[in-house]
Each structure stands twice: as C-alpha cells, then as structure tokens.
Amino acid sequence: MSSSPSAQHLAAILPSKAAGAFQVTHRPTPTPGPDDLLIQVKSIALNPIDYYQRDYGFGPLDHYPTVLGSDIGGTVISAGASVPSDAPQPGTRVAAFAPCFFTKGLPDYGAFQTRVLVPAANVVPLPPKMSFNKAALLPMAVITTWSGWYSIGLPRDTAYTAADKKGMLVWGGASSIGSTAVQVAKSMGFSVYVTASEKHGEYLKGLGASQVFDYKSEDVVEKIVKAAKADGVTIQAGYDAVGQVKSCLDVLKEFKGEGTLKLATTVPPTEDTPKEEGVEVKFVAGPEDEEERTEHFHFVFGVWLKEKLEKGEIVPSPKILVLEGGLESIDKGLNELKKGVSGVKLVLEV
Ligand SMILES: NC(=O)c1ccc[n+]([C@@H]2O[C@H](COP(=O)([O-])OP(=O)(O)OC[C@H]3O[C@@H](n4cnc5c(N)ncnc54)[C@H](OP(=O)(O)O)[C@@H]3O)[C@@H](O)[C@H]2O)c1
C-alpha cells in the first residue's frame, strides 16, 4: 500500500525555532524515498532532546515548521524501491528510530505524527508479543548505548566470560539510556557496577547489574571501588548516562593499569569537565560520516537488536508511564520529563 498524493495525517508541528509548544494539525503524507519505510505510528516515547529542541532550538534544525521526536513503535505501510528484501516489509510490526535530528528537522522524518518516514536501517521487527508501547522504549536507548561503545572504541564482538573479571561502570542506571547500557554491557560479559536510587536496585539487578549503589550516598565511589576489588574485577570502562563525569573518573582512576581507561558520557563535556590522566572521556556520538552511520544503525537495529529480541535477551527498559491524550499530550509529557522522572519512560498512543 502506498499513500495517495492527497493523503493527509495528523502531526504535532513545531511552527518555529524554540516555539515552546506544538500545534496538532494535518499535513501531507509523504511517499518513501528509495531507502525509506513509511510507518503507521502507534506509540511514541519521549526523550530529553525533544524538549531541548522544542524550547531552546537545540541541534541543527534547518527546516521549520518541523516535526520532532525519535522513538516509535508501529507498522510498516510501504517501502522505497531500494529497501532490501531482508528489511521489514509492509505489514511488519516494528520499533524505529525516526531521524529528525540527522535530517536537521525535515518534517517527514520526525516521530510526533501518525505517519513517518524512517530509513530501513533504523528499524527492527518486533517479537509477536511485544506491545508497541514497549517497543517505543528501545530505539533511542539502544542506539545511544551502542554509540557510546563506538565513541570509546569498544569492539562490537566483545564477549568476556565471568572468568575474565572485566567490569563496566554505568552511572545513572535508572535512566532510559543507563538501564539499556546495563543490559548491553552484561550481554558482552562485563560485570556491571551501577548507580541508581536505592528503590531501583532490585529492578536493575534483574536487568543484569552485578551490584547497584545509591548515588546519593556520600561514599558511593569508595563503595563501588571496594566492591569491584573484592570481586577481583577490573573496571576497564564507564558509561555515564546522566552527566556525572567527576564521580565516574573517581571510580575509574582506581583501576588504572597498563592501557588507557575509557569513559563515554551522554552529556557533552565542556572546558570545565574534570580530567584525569590515563582516562579518556568521550562524548557519546555515532559515526559522523553518513555511510558509516547507516552501517552503524543497520548493525544496531537490523543485526544486533533483531537477534537479541528474537532470543528474548533484551527487554525494553525502564518502566512505562502511558500518557492519555495522543499527540495533544506531547507538550504536557515533555513538561513532566523536563521536571525529571525516576525510572520511567513517558509513552503516548496515537
Ligand atoms: N549523546 C546522545 O546521543 C544522547 C542521546 C540520548 C540521551 N542523551 C542524554 O542522556 C541523558 C539521559 O537521558 P535519558 O532519557 O536516559 O534520561 P532519563 O531517563 O529521563 O533520566 C532520568 C533518570 O536519571 C537518573 N539520575 C538523575 N541524576 C542522577 C545522578 N546524579 N546519578 C545517577 N542517576 C541520576 C534518575 O535516577 P533515579 O531515579 O535513580 O534517581 C532518573 O531515573 C540526558 O541528558 C539526555 O539528553 C544523550
């Protein structure tokens, strides 16, 4: 099925830079470009970048009015002429990363609408029992985790065993990105030392954390270092999901050895970001080159996540809070997210 030239669908449109609020209205439904899928959106998950863009005009957005948003669950409606036959075909239920950021705000490519274009490389088919709401939690969190590994040069095929005693620090484990980084690090064989509020400890152990430490405790750094050393584990890298570089460096410096330790951080370092000799701090970002980025996305969604979902070896995390009101509720949801959430991802159904 392809959309007729006169087809329209509903979208939450940001009329101008930093407009601060969306207008829900109809817009023309696009036809997929050669490498794109047109997706009927069923669920949308909200991310911090959505309010950075809505309120502050963050990122290279060149196209206004625009449609923002990245995370969706939905069903493929039609496919472009060059979409490979092993990519999800029309009728397939999928999770997808809508690339409004990478297209600099081209409105056909933002998630906050009922029909969206997404490159086939950014899409993963869903197991039969996974709901669209759960599916929408995956794309941003999984690609950001893997872009972290890309930034610090962690090989894709890293596969330690418990006997290797290799540790990964994840700071901010209850966040959307952090809870996913815990799962991916565990799947690579790391012993994962995680910080979160005490109330999230058991949940994160269920996702694969070896030990969870309350980041509000004054001696949290000492506790992590002591625990890993008692386990005989060397923490060789860190994933800072929430912008706590200083604390991460304080842990990592206790494990300095032969090579350089690596820390990926989701929040852009500034001149004031602390430094530590022997520990390299890298901002989480995937490849800049478009061809390499497409390959990175294809690996993450079309290969790695596809297999992990088929085997039931990754679950959407953290927990879901569904907002009533469809596209009209995005502003309210982003205002909630801006105030801060704890161990939940906000999702809306369209
Ligand atoms: N570079 C990139 O490509 C990229 C991509 C996506 C996101 N990001 C950035 O990554 C960050 C996380 O995004 P998200 O969507 O995962 O956030 P989120 O789910 O909204 O994060 C909320 C969680 O952060 C935790 N938290 C807050 N302060 C903390 C601290 N000092 N120590 C430990 N945990 C803390 C809270 O944990 P408790 O509930 O335990 O208190 C809370 O559950 C944001 O700044 C976002 O902009 C960057």
What pLDDT digit, counting tens, does each position of 244-297 carry? 999 999 999 999 987 889 999 999 999 999 999 999 999 999 999 999 999 999
The number of residues in the chain equals: 350
Task: Tell me the C-alpha to C-alpha distance, in Å, between residue 324 and each of 32, 43, 331, 333.
Answer: 30, 12, 12, 10
Confirm or reject: Cβ of 245 under 6 Å from ligand 1: no
Instruction: Say which residue, 5 or 231, is predicted with more confidence.
Output: 231
pLDDT at 60: 85
Q: Whose CA is nearest to atom 42 of ligand 1?
A: 342
Which residues have C-beta within 8 Å of that of residue 321, sequence separation ≥ 6? 341, 344, 345, 346, 347
221 lines ligand 1 (CB under 6 A): no
- Tell how far the Cα of 241 is from the centroid of ligand 1, in angstroms: 5
Tell whether domain 144-283 is in CATH 3.60.15.10: no
Residue 200 near ligand 1, beta carbon < 6 Å: yes
**pLDDT per residue as tens digits for the range 159-178:** 999 999 999 999 999 999 99
Mean pLDDT in the chain?
96
Specify whether the CB–CB gap between 285 and 175 falls below 8 A. no
Strands (E), the chain: 8-13, 23-28, 36-45, 71-79, 93-97, 115-119, 123-125, 166-171, 191-195, 211-213, 234-240, 261-265, 279-283, 319-323, 344-349
Distance of CA 172 from the midpoint of ligand 1 (Å): 6
φ, ψ of residue 274 in degrees (nearest 5):
-60, 155
Give the pLDDT band of residue 1 (cuts 50, 70, 90).
Answer: very low
Q: Within a 10 A sphere around the Cβ of 284, how many other Cβ atoms? A: 24
In the chain, list all ranges with CATH 3.90.180.10: 8-137+317-349
pLDDT digits (tens, 9 = 90+) for 10-46: 999 999 999 999 999 999 999 999 999 999 999 999 9
- Determine the average pLDDT of the residues in 133-148: 98
For residue 159, which of 187, 129, 130 has the smallest C-alpha distance? Answer: 187
Please give the C-alpha separations between residue 193 and each of 184, 190, 278, in angstroms, as whole numbers.
Answer: 13, 9, 20
In the chain, CATH 3.40.50.720 covers 144-283
Whether residue 6 has pLDDT greater than 80:
no
Ligand 1 pocket check for 151: Cβ under 6 Å? no
CA dihedral 139, 299, 212, 273 (to 10 degrees): -80
Q: Is the CB of 196 inside a 6 Å radius of any atom of ligand 1?
A: yes
Q: How far is CA 135 from CA 49, 84, 253, in A?
A: 19, 22, 37
Query: What does the pLDDT average to over 321-327?
Result: 98
Mean pLDDT across 139-152: 98
User: Measured from the CB, is residue 177 less than 6 Å from ligand 1?
Assistant: yes
Going from the C-alpha of 219 to that of each of 19, 171, 214, 250, 275, the distances in angstroms are 43, 15, 9, 11, 20
* 265 pocket-lining for ligand 1 (C-beta < 6 Å): no
- 85 alpha carbon – ligand 1 mean position (Å): 37
Share of the chain above pLDDT 70, in %: 98
The candidate with the shortest Cα–Cα distance to 183, out of 220, 245, 138, 150, is 138
CATH topology of domain 8-137+317-349: Quinone Oxidoreductase; Chain A, domain 1 (3.90.180)
Which letter does DSSP use for residue 114 in this model? Answer: S
12 vs 242: CA distance, rounded Å? 28
Please work out whether the CB of residue 341 comes within 6 Å of at least one atom of ligand 1: yes
Lookup: tokens for 244: 């706590």
